[in-house]
Amino acid sequence: MASSSAESSVDPLFCPVGRAMDLIGDRWTLVLVRHLLAGPRGFQELRRRAGIAPRMLTTRLGQLTERGFIEAIKVGKRSHYQLTEFGQTLEPIVRSIALWWVRNAMDGSGRYRETAPATVMESLPFLLKAERAKGVHLVYEVRLTGKGAGVWTVTIDDGVCHVEEGYAERAKVRYTADARDWTMLAIGLKDDREAYKAGEFIKDGAGGSMAWYFHQPMNPRRPSVGGTA
C-alpha cells in the first residue's frame, strides 16, 4: 500500500509533447485554428468550413477562449472569433501537420468526390511543391463563377505561396472557370489539359500552369499530373 501511495504522488513525467497535446490535442482544435489563421470568422462560417456540429463548435470555441488562443470581437453588428497573439504561434504546427499529410498520406487517403472552392484555395499554401517553386515569382488570379463563386489572388514567391481573396493588381495569369469544374480539377477528378481543350476554363496571360506547382490527390486515370494549361 505504501508503494502504491508513493507512486500516485509522483509528478507527471516531463514530456513536452504530452503537455502540448493537453492544450491542443482535442479533436477540432487545430482545424479551427487553421481556419482562423486566414482572419476572423463568424460561428456559422466556422461551422460550415470545418464541418463541425454546432454543439461541438460551441464547446471547442469556449475551450480555445479559456486557453487564450482566440478571442471574440465585433465585426459590424455580428460576433466573430479571431486568433490572439498566442493563438498565432500555432501557425507553424498547423503548417507542419498539413505538409506531412500532403507529402506522406494524401495519395493513400482515397478519392475525393467534392469540396468547396474556398477550402481548395485556402489549402494551396500547404499544397505547393516547394522544390518546383524555388526562385519562382508568379501572381495568379482565379475567378470562379456559379456555386461557391469568388475571386482569389494566388502568389508564388520563391517557394512560398500566399492566397488572398480579391482581384490581383498585377497578375501574370488569370483563370476563369465554373467553381465546380475548378474544384474537380484541383482534387484530381478532371485532367487539366483535357479541361482546357474542352473550354471548361479560360487562361489569360503568359506563365506556368498552376497544376505544375501544386500537389493534387492521386488521380487513378493520371498518376502524375504535370499540367500544361
Residues 122 and 180 placed together within one structural domain of the fold: yes
The domain that holds 52 is classified in CATH as 1.10.10.10
Name the band, by pLDDT with cuts 50, 70 and 90, for residue 184: confident
What does the alpha-carbon distance between residue 60 and residue 210 come to, in Å, rounded to a whole number? Answer: 36
- 76 lies in some domain: yes
Residues 84 and 124 placed together within one structural domain of the fold: no
Note the pLDDT of residue 224.
39
Note the pLDDT of residue 42.
96
- Laid out side by side, the sheet with 161-165 consists of 161-165, 150-157, 137-145, 173-178, 201-205
Domain count of the chain?
Answer: 2
- 221 lies in some domain: no
Note the pLDDT of residue 92.
93
Cite the beta strand spans of 146-187 per DSSP E.
Answer: 150-157, 161-165, 173-178
Evaluate whether 10 touches 60 at the Cβ level (below 8 Å). no
- 4 lies in some domain: no
Residues 63 and 124 placed together within one structural domain of the fold: no
What does the alpha-carbon distance between residue 214 and residue 226 come to, in Å, rounded to a whole number? Answer: 9
pLDDT, averaged across the chain: 86
Residues 122 and 31 placed together within one structural domain of the fold: no
- 98 lies in some domain: no
- 46 lies in some domain: yes
**What pTM did the predictor assign?**
0.75
- 228 lies in some domain: no
Note the pLDDT of residue 12.
65
What string of DSSP letters covers 90-154? THHHHHHHHHHHHHHTGGGS-------HHHHHHHHHHHB-HHHHTT-EEEEEEEEESTT-EEEEE
Residues 122 and 208 placed together within one structural domain of the fold: yes
Residues 201 and 118 placed together within one structural domain of the fold: yes
Residues 79 and 123 placed together within one structural domain of the fold: no
Residues 121 and 204 placed together within one structural domain of the fold: yes
Least confident of 13-22, 41-50, 111-120, 134-143: 111-120
Name the band, by pLDDT with cuts 50, 70 and 90, for residue 5: low
Residues 86 and 115 placed together within one structural domain of the fold: no
Residue for grid cell 492566397? 163
- 219 lies in some domain: no
- 101 lies in some domain: no
Residues 118 and 202 placed together within one structural domain of the fold: yes
The domain containing residue 81 runs over which residues? 14-91
Residues 152 and 193 placed together within one structural domain of the fold: yes
The domain that holds 116 is classified in CATH as 3.30.1050.10
Residues 115 and 207 placed together within one structural domain of the fold: yes
Which tens digits make up the pLDDT trace of 37-93? 989 999 999 998 888 999 999 999 999 999 999 999 998 889 999 999 999 999 999
